[in-house]
Amino acid sequence: MLSGRRVTVGVCGSIACYKLVEVVRRLSKLGAEVRVAMTPGATRFVAPATFAAVSGSPVLTDLFTEAERVAHVELGRWAEVLVVGGATATTLERLASGAADEPVSATYLMCRAPVVLAPAMHTEMWEHPAVRRNVDRLVADGVTLVGPDTGDLASGDHGVGRLADPEAVVAAVVAACGPRDMDGLRVLVTAGPTREPLDPVRYISNHSSGRMGYALAADAVRRGAHVTLVTGPSALAPPPGTDVVRVTTAQQMLDECLSRFDEVDVVVKAAAVADQRPVATSDHKLPKDGLSDRLELEPTPDIASELGRKKGAQLLVLFAAETDDPVARAREKLSRKRADLIIANLVGRPGTGFDSETNDAALVTEAGAEPLPRMRKEQLATRIWDRVLLQLGDPAEG
């Protein structure tokens, strides 16, 4: 898959940089020739000899070790892809500002190949405006951002900032070695839950985190598409490079989708829209003893059906989240909603569905169903876009 491709891995001083050993190992197993550069901080966590053993090449740890050669110049020009992994806030500042006072940032400035950036830091640092500015600048400069994920962090914390899993980093390298096969496509992705208010405090919603929709948006950006992300409330940071439209209710999501529908080529409706909303909404918090035993509800707008009725040349992709036999429900939904592709998604079990990092799913079209093994949502996003491109190239596949 990567036979003969030249990959430079820059290892930064995050406590999670030990994961880059597995990244180097996997890249090598895929046939890539890998060379490694390390920041001084990274060498305090993992010995350079470890990376030298796994990569089979010397590791660059000092800009001035070999006076007779300018190693970072050679390394930057040699690379067909540069991975900067375990990137700390300090590394992001260096890369964004053009500083080059250690091997990784100096190699970055010399490199004209695609760059895959995998940050890792505590949640508060990742969410700080200064860090966000640097990330936005780097994405504008053309780097591909992988992660960070949400999960367990150092010091017992839990939140966004966890270094992306090695398989996700390697997948980004594989993609960077390939063509930007979605250049020119205009894509609209919906994500997250909706919230239907009862009063200013209470609402009806579901357990959706937005992970699947955000993964779809991130992969489409990486592959060259122009992406609009219409998102319900989510704790996730939107993928850089997307046009983000924030909504709360199903009606708001429908309005935003309809207003943009004629301008896009593909719509992927990954949002988990609340099916019901209160008939009456109060402007003031309802007293506990004033709530009725039975809450009167009405259906929310059926966004999928509305888009299906309106669609012309657009490709419409839907999700069917079910606890039992999702493929059968997806087949029934396919023609009724005028969809071109439905992702039948098993929910309600450990490791799949809402707020999980993996999914059990099948791709369902008029031609049949393709069951997929359990995989990370980032990998599933890639499989979905691959199928979308196939159907755009051959409408009969739908």
Closest CA to 189 of 15, 59, 16, 381: 381
219's CB contacts (< 8 A; 6+ apart) are: 378, 381, 382, 385
Contact 140, 193 (CB under 8 A): no
85 closest CA partner among 45, 32, 128: 45
Q: Which of 119, 117, 95, 107 lies closest to 13, judged by CA?
A: 119
* CA dist., res. 23 & res. 152, Å (int): 20
Half-sphere exposure of 74 (CA within 13 A, CB side): 11
Calpha distance 178→168 (Å, rounded): 16
Non-local (6+) Cβ contacts of 267 within 8 A are 187, 188, 189, 190, 257, 261, 307, 311, 314, 315, 316, 317
Degrees, nearest 5: CA angle 15-18-22? 150
- Interior angle at CA 16, CA 377 and CA 237, nearest 5: 45
Active site (annotated) includes residue 206: yes
H or E element at residue 387: helix 377-393
The token pair at 223 is: 């592959």
Instruction: Report yes or no: 23 and 32 within 8 Å, Cβ to Cβ.
Output: no
Active-site residue among 134, 206, 345, 359? 206
Give the residue numbers annotated as catalytic, written as ranges.
Answer: 206
